[in-house]
Amino acid sequence: MPTGIRSHSALASALRLLSVAALAGSIVASPALAADETKPDDLLRDYIHYVRIARYDLAQSNAQALLDRLAAPFGKADAATAMPLSGKGGLVELIERSGELARFEEAASRGSRVGEIENVSSLLLRAYERGKLEQARNADEIAGSIQMLLGTARQRLVARERLAEAGEYATPQLLKALIDRQNPALRAEAFQILVDMGRQSLAPLQAALLKIEPGFQEVIISALSEIPSSTSLPFLYEVRATTSVDKVRAAAERAIVKLDGKVRTDIDAAELHRLLAERYLREDDGLVMFPGEDRQLLWDFNPQIGLVMTSIDTKLFNEAVAMRLSERSLTLDAQNLDAVSLWVAANLLREAQTPEGYTNPAYPASRRDAMFYAVAAGPAVSQRVLARGLDRRDTLLARRAIEALQRTTGARGLATGIGTRRPLVEALRYPNRRVQFDAALVMAGAQPTESFDGSERVVPILASAATNPGARTAVVLSSDLERGNSLAANLRTAGFNVLPVARSMTDIESDIAAAPTIELVITALSGDASAALAADLRARPKTSATPLVAIVSSQAEPELSLKFKGDRLTRLVREGAEPAQIAEAVRTLVDDVSGGTIAGDDAAIYQTRALAALRDLAISSGTVFNVMDAAMPLVASLNTASGSVRLRTADVLSLINDARVQQALMDAALAAQPADMIPLMNRVTDSAKRFGNRLTERQISKLRTLANTGSDQQATAVAALIGALNLPNISAVPMIINPDPAKN
């Protein structure tokens, strides 16, 4: 047996063997048992025993050996030979027939709070719970439970408990029982169980209601009316509006009154479907049936075979349902622009959140990518999608909406908004550099002819993208300043500009106000202070979409995990985590929330696009955007930029009519290496041709010297500048009549 895996029963046997061997006068070492020869019963029993006596090293070994017999994600055994979670020979059967169920649950619960065995204990408990769910959801188990509904009182009680545990998974067979005309007793039992299951029955019954024959619609309507939920209203209103059967219409109206107080005339089924879709896209509480699980169920109804369930990744469930409901809304009212924008938004989110390699059962591969529908819908829809992204503080959605606008909008499109809202203008103040850059590039490309509120921000944002797109500012808050300084040092190493470490946001108000954007907040505070800080961040316009990494104690973590459940902007890290773990939490959160750091190719693309946009604006000489607002940042970057970026920067500067700009270009050319001097000198010449001589006497004096030195190519570039400057006190005649440069 491997080191650390010691069954106390196996140990006793070994001792007995040693005793017998000693009496015989020859002690023979017993060969170690292989891990797979140890009975699972012994591993389970010994795990429980060693947890209870606090021998956590041995508890760890036995638990791990038991887990190793399971398939992923709990163990590492091959799926074909692994111990199943449920069924004959499975983990659930092992635990429940051992007589140790209560002791196992107690040991696993205790172990989950002990650092040395936290992971294995949590995995064992989750594997058991998953096995129980699999067992309850097994189709044969469900069929057997439904048959037990016609048995004794004890059998009916057990059957109801099992079906309630199966939940949604039991509804296809329960619906078949509900519409079985040959078995009224079973129909009555199925009806009551579906009602008792509450919200677990809603989606399957709603899916069936719209497609089942009228004779059974009344039964389903009756069941839905007994389950208090507004999610049934869109389906009831649709049946009321589309049925040709008076009894069905009357039943639908009675159900609506029971659920909502009255039948409304100011709203229709199309709008109700859209409003329900909004709730799914907002991820309202109570709409996901199995929030702690990796998979959810989508429902359809086929009149020939009944209810059809489709399993889908939980991360994509809300978007899938929102898209389905939007499609139902558009089927009833094709002119509903809000439903179109909701579908487009959900589809963009679906695409962004789909795991690599995952085949989405709700979105067949035959459909085009999400951007196709976004651009086809036009700028009015994209503006609505952008507004949704800004309101949700969903940076990725906002960026995809701006991308669609970039492809479809012109000067007139910039004025398109939603009532009095102008989402693209709002995006210029959104607390994320990528969104600001993207919005400014769209506006610059459209080249509007009329000024608008916020237009003054476009050129400075483009200047920032052109000169330092990867600048990142972080805030570190800690009740222990030494700990805070350590975190700040790690962030600086990662490339962040870190504001002074403080205990609260109010301590650095002026520093925050001066920063262009805040890309990250990281905290090491108490649990209550962390929760209060998160609320403060979201209330501030500048940090409302800023990622927050909160380092919290193990005591505060459970409560904060519940508080921040579903909060995409916040990541918790347990106190004591290594710097590498904190860095990984920062990286993954920033990637998820804002598309990651602007660096490498990303930064180069932003610089290239921003410089091209500024050049186009300077050439157009429009009155809305003043390129002079970018002049000084661009001048400053001449000293740090290199290669093509430096030349593109000089191109823009050569188009700006300002003496300081021309002089800065000239200084850059004079200070450049010979290979860089000529192209920079050519940009000074371009400036001189457009705006005349704006150089200083000092610079002109240096030109005289340069004209008589260097290669022919350099001398010609200098001569071209002299000619463009049209200087009265410098003549080409001496150079013509005396070709010796030393004598001129």
Q: What is the pLDDT of residues 104-133, one digit of tens each?
A: 999 999 998 888 899 999 999 999 988 888
How far apart CA 257 and CA 104 sit, in angstroms, is 50
Report the pLDDT value the prediction gives residue 737, as an integer from 0 to 100: 54
Is residue 744 over pLDDT 90?
no
Closest C-alpha among 701, 704, 646, 700 to residue 673: 646
Which pLDDT band, with edges at 50, 70 and 90, does 723 fall under? confident
Q: Which string of DSSP letters, residue by residue, matches 280-349?
A: HHHT-TTS-S-TTSSEEEEEEEETTTEEEEEEEEHHHHHHHHHHHHHHHHHHH-TT-HHHHHHHHHHHHH
* b/e per residue 451-473 (b: at least 16 CB within 10 A): eeebbebbbbbbbbbbbbbbbbb
Nearest CA among 517, 585, 577, 579 for reference residue 549: 585
pLDDT computed for residue 255 by the predictor: 97
- pLDDT tens per residue across span 419-465: 888 999 999 988 888 999 999 999 999 888 888 888 888 999 999 99
Of 208 and 37, the one with more pLDDT:
208
Cα 6 to Cα 29: distance, rounded to the nearest angstrom: 16
Cα 396 to chain centroid, rounded = 8
The mean pLDDT of the chain is 88
Q: Could you tell me the pLDDT band of residue 740, with boundaries at 50, 70 and 90?
A: low
What confidence score (pLDDT) does residue 454 get?
82
Model pLDDT for residues 588-618, shown as the tens digit of each residue: 888 888 777 888 889 999 999 999 999 999 9
Question: For residue 497, what is the enclosing H or E element?
Answer: strand 497-498
Tokens of 75: 């163990």
Q: Which of 325, 443, 344 shows the shortest CA–CA distance to 397? A: 344
Average pLDDT (364-368) is: 92
pLDDT per residue over 221-249, tens digit each?
Answer: 999 999 999 999 999 999 999 999 999 99
Q: How many CB atoms are closer than 10 A to CB 712?
A: 7
Q: What is the pTM of this model?
A: 0.80
Range picked from 49-58, 234-243, 404-413, 508-517 for highest mean pLDDT: 234-243
List, for residues 505-559, the tens digit of each pLDDT value.
989 989 988 887 888 999 998 888 888 998 999 888 888 888 999 999 888 888 8
Residue range 27-55: average pLDDT? Answer: 72
pLDDT confidence band for 729 (50 / 70 / 90): low
For residue 710, the SS3 value is coil
Instruction: Please write the tens of the pLDDT for every residue from 293-318.
Output: 889 999 999 999 999 999 999 999 99
Pick the more confident residue, 103 or 731. 103
For the chain, the domains span: 8-137, 167-314, 331-452, 473-597, 601-743
Angle, CA 498 vertex, CA 479 and CA 529 arms, to 5°:
25
Tell me phi and psi for residue 567, to 5 degrees: -85, 105
Does domain 473-597 match CATH 3.40.50.2300?
A: yes
Per-residue pLDDT of 9-36, as tens digits, reads 444 444 444 443 443 333 333 333 444 5
Q: Does position 354 have pLDDT exceeding 70, yes or no?
A: yes
**pLDDT of 79 higher than 50:** yes
Find residue 415's DSSP bridge partners.
none
Rounded Cα distance between 401 and 348, Å, is 9
Q: What is the pLDDT of residue 36?
A: 53
Q: How many helices (H) and strands (E) does the chain have?
A: 37, 7
Radius of gyration of the chain, Cα coordinates, nearest whole angstrom: 36
pLDDT value for 736: 56
3-state helix, strand, coil in the chain (%, to 5): 65, 5, 30
- The DSSP secondary structure of 520-571, one letter per residue, reads EEEEE--HHHHHHHHHHHHHSTTTTT--EEEEE-TTTHHHHHHHTTT-TTEE
- pLDDT tens profile 645-690: 999 999 999 999 999 999 999 999 999 888 888 999 999 999 999 9
Q: For residue 10, what pLDDT is reported?
A: 45
Whether 164 and 137 have beta carbons less than 8 Å apart is answered as no
Do the strands 497-498 and 473-478 form a parallel or antiparallel pair, or are they unpaired?
A: parallel
- pLDDT for 557 equals 87
Query: To 10 degrees, what angle do helices 214-225 and 184-196 make?
Result: 40
